[in-house]
Structure 1
Amino acid sequence: MSLQKGNVQRTRPQKHKNHSAFKNSLHDTSNRTKLINSLQVSDVCVRCKDIIDWKIKYKKYKPLSQPKTCVKCGLKTVKQAYHVMCTDCGKKLETCTKCCQKKEIVPAPPSKDEQIKLDNEMKDLLQSLPERRRRTFLRYMDKLGKQKKQDDEEPKDKDAEKNALMNKLKQLKVSEEDEDFDSDDFGDSYDKESSNSDSEDEKE
């Protein structure tokens, strides 16, 4: 921007440009950096999550050395940096644990046991489907994979993706049950009509 008074438009391009994007683990391969990069930010609103993710991405994140005091319950239960409220108080009050405002909260990822349970449930649902429905689901998964390759984007929220796949499986299961119900009804009515026609033929 020019130093002239009132001149707020700059015509020249940016002077210093980065040839490659910043990578916080390029020269620092310590366990501390790996641990910070593997953190899952949760129980905060979308804006606060973006702020903490930015700090992690550009190596500005400073983890806590010891638990902090919660602003609501007064106990030393805050174990995540930049959070001012513990997880329990945040869930009770349904507020963000960083800015303490009532907004849409990003849920915490499922634990390992819950993840194994969800995977087993998905496998059971997939096995219970007939061949035609199973192939429909596999085509749906291939379609999602192709879309990711075209966009050249990594899945930002794997849990949301798995939930979408589970919902698709349940929809296929419900539609299958509806079809079975309709076919049974049709079969019963068909049997009744055929028996009635046979009885009329016998009377004649």
Structure 2
Amino acid sequence: MSTSRGSNVRKRPQKHQNRTAFKNDLHDTSHKTKFLNSLEVTGVCARCKDIIEWKIKYKKYKPLTAPRKCVTCEQKTVKYAYHLMCTQCAKDKQICAKCCKPVESTVADVVEDSQNADLKEMLKDLPERKRRTILRHINKQEDGQQKVTPEIMAKLEKMLSETGVDDDFNFSDEDDDFPESDDQSI
């Protein structure tokens, strides 16, 4: 056993440690594995999504062979494993199709996520100093939530238009202070 009698504290690390991370498609290139890896989990809450993605990642996901019966409409319309409700009923009632609890994800969250993706793309083009300025403005908001407001987006777009190409890092052949060497051996 891993613990001695009367003591529940283990003194040594685990005996067999993985050297590499598990890859579910390392030796299995079947159609089923490719399908499961391309499967996008939607219509469930964040916790259930994590659970299903874990099952897919570690080859524990067992897809349905035939549609199951939905617990609300009682039709055979459940097409995804581990779901209790069909996607239409879950969407209508705005609850998770797996655990049947209310889903917090709304349209506003989806819009905010797309804005964050746009912000990351814009920040990638900025120099470090200006990038940190924008991030400081986002963190300074009085409500405590790190949301992207239209004012911050306007500041960011202004900085992007001003920036263009940074002159401090413009290297050209004309500005060389060093004489060119002709393959001299030292």
TM-aligned CA distance change 1:41 to 1:13, over 3 Å: same
> 1 or 2, which has the higher helix percentage?
1
Q: Runs of 5+ in structure 2 lacking a partner? A: 127-146, 159-186
Can you list the C-alpha shifts for 1:79-124, whole angstroms capped at 9, x where unaligned? 11111101111112111100111242488xx9xxxxxxx9xxxxxx
Is structure 2 residue 10 aligned with structure 1 residue 10?
A: yes
Q: Report the number of matched residues.
A: 129
Q: Which residue of 1 aligns with 2:69?
A: 69
The answer to whether the Cα contact below 8 Å between 1:68 and 1:79 also exists between their aligned partners in 2 is: yes
Map 1:131-170 to 2 at 5 A.
139-142=122-125
Q: Secondary structure at the match of 1:11?
A: coil
- The amino acid across from 2:28 in the alignment is D
Q: Which residue of 2 aligns with 1:26?
A: 26
Q: Which residue of 1 aligns with 2:82?
A: 82
Q: Give the aligned CA root-mean-square deviation in angstroms.
A: 3.6
Provide TM-score, normalisation by structure 2.
Answer: 0.58
TM-aligned CA distance change 1:138 to 1:24, over 3 Å: closer
The answer to whether the Cα contact below 8 Å between 1:41 and 1:53 also exists between their aligned partners in 2 is: yes
Q: Which residue of 1 aligns with 2:91?
A: 91
Q: Secondary structure at the match of 2:48?
A: helix
- Please state how far the C-alpha of 1:9 moved relative to its aligned partner: 1.0
TM-aligned CA distance change 1:67 to 1:138, over 3 Å: closer
Provide TM-score, normalisation by structure 1.
Answer: 0.54
Q: Secondary structure at the match of 2:47?
A: helix
Give 1 or 2 for the bigger CA radius of gyration. 1
